[in-house]
Structure 1
Amino acid sequence: MGALMSVTPEETEPSPHWPMPPTDGYTADDLDRLPNLPPHTELIDGSLVFVSPQSLFHTRAVDFFKAQIEAAAPPDLEVIREFTIDIDRQNRPEPDVIVVRGDVVEDPEQTRFPADTVQLAVEVVSPESLSRDRETKPLKYARAGIKHYWRVESNQGRAVAYVFELEPATGAYTPIGIFHERLKVADPFPLDLDLTAIKPRR
């Protein structure tokens, strides 16, 4: 008979440990307090949302919009990628790109901005974020008073931008246009973007 081998605790695979949510859900402040959260964790309706690995299209699109918007933005505005915003106690989403007032960019250690300082929120859609980016987040961004919202989707590797503006009378977004090759708008400041630049390289 072969000898029995003992397994020490150090040799066993550790069980994943997920924090138990409070009865009334997590709060915006909890994102800064909970240990070992994955990067880019969001808070939606008191629940933690973990981001799946992103596609190459997603990465290139976020890079493109961040760089192009930053190049055209007035000096009193900052363009920042993948940064959380405070909507309310139970909602702290992380748009892919935001345009925010420069006066609230105060501290290199800060982890969020007030939603009412955001001029534009851009979401690049992934398969796992489709319903959030089309339905959940626009409702919350509109409620927070963010005047401009862009949703960017891939159509066979080519970018399509859906542009929305806040209607003050209803407090909801109204569609401005669907842009396939060129995105040209006057607000929140003049922008003329060649969306074909995001197509996959060969």
Structure 2
Amino acid sequence: MHDVTSALEYWPSPPPWGWTADDMDRLPSDGPNGEPDFFKHVELIDGALVFMSPQKRFHEHVIHGLRVSLNAQVPDHLFTVNQMDVKLGHRMRPCPDLLVIDATSADDLDRTFYTPDEVHLVIEVVSPESEERDRKLKPPRYAEAGIPHFWRVEENDGRPVVYVYELDPATKTYAVTGIHHGKLSVPVPFPIAIDLENLPR
């Protein structure tokens, strides 16, 4: 087993053995050359560290607005969190924009990640630098892990458009169940109605 210190000796290349999901909890706060908060916004995709770019205001507004809206409607046994990791495997630990998880899991304030069986809905808000990951790479991994619901949010003329997917348990793939402009109304994973034009600010 290799430690994070020996892995950072190969920086900026990944170590020959690759990064693991457990390494994410052992990364230092500063970068290899003393850069502050260097590893603050990073996720693990197929053993590689992926650094996320600074958010646009649209991205932050949608994340905040959806979280407030969801938590106002979520049943007591569920809770919405933002930008927490999901450990999908030994070398896969993405950091979705929003998660609806078991409320008992959310009560544990020491958690740094959740497991797929604790997750009911994953939401990714697409930004220019994350298009490939959010549209093509992450959704199949969430589906393979058995996460039952996935939303992808795109920007169209400054407004959010929500693509809603549901897991087909027989094939472990997502099927689109709706594309929502202006208003979003779905019955699962719980009854949800959101005015996309007037998200909480």
TM-score by length of structure 2 reads: 0.87
Aligned residue number for residue 196 of structure 2: 195
Instruction: Name 2:154's counterpart in structure 1.
Output: 153
Distance across 2 between alignment mates of 1:28 and 1:78: 24
Structure 2 unaligned spans of 5+: 1-9, 31-37
2:69 corresponding residue in structure 1? 68
Partner of 2:123: 122
SS of corresponding position for 1:22: coil
Q: Deviations over 1:66-118 (max 9, x none)?
A: 11011110111121000001100000001101001122235322211112210
| Matched position secondary structure for 1:69 | helix
2-side partners of 1:20 and 1:126: how far apart?
Answer: 25
Counterpart of 2:51, as a letter, is F
When the two structures are aligned, how many residues end up with a matched partner? Answer: 184
Residue 22 (structure 2) aligns with: 29
Mark the structure with the bigger radius of gyration.
1
- For residues 132 and 92 of structure 1, the distance between their equivalents in structure 2, rounded to whole angstroms, comes to 13
AA in 2 matched with 1:87: L
Shift of 1:25: 1.3
- Cα distance in 2 for partners of 1:129, 1:169 equals 29
Q: In structure 2, what is the equivalent of residue 7 of structure 1?
A: none
CA offsets 1:29-82 (integer angstroms, 9 cap, x no match): 111112124322100000001110111100000001111011110111121000
> In 1, distance between residues paired with 2:111 and 2:169?
30
RMSD: 1.7
Gaps of 5+ in 1: 1-16
Over the matched positions of the two proteins, sequence identity in percent amounts to 46
- Take 1:187 and 1:194, find their aligned partners in 2: how far apart are those partners? 17
- Alignment partner, residue 104 of structure 2: 103
Q: Which residue of 2 aligns with 1:88?
A: 89
* Cα offset, 1:197, TM superposition: 1.4
CA distance, structure 2, for counterparts of residue 182 and residue 165 of structure 1 = 19
Counterpart residue type for residue 23 of structure 1? P
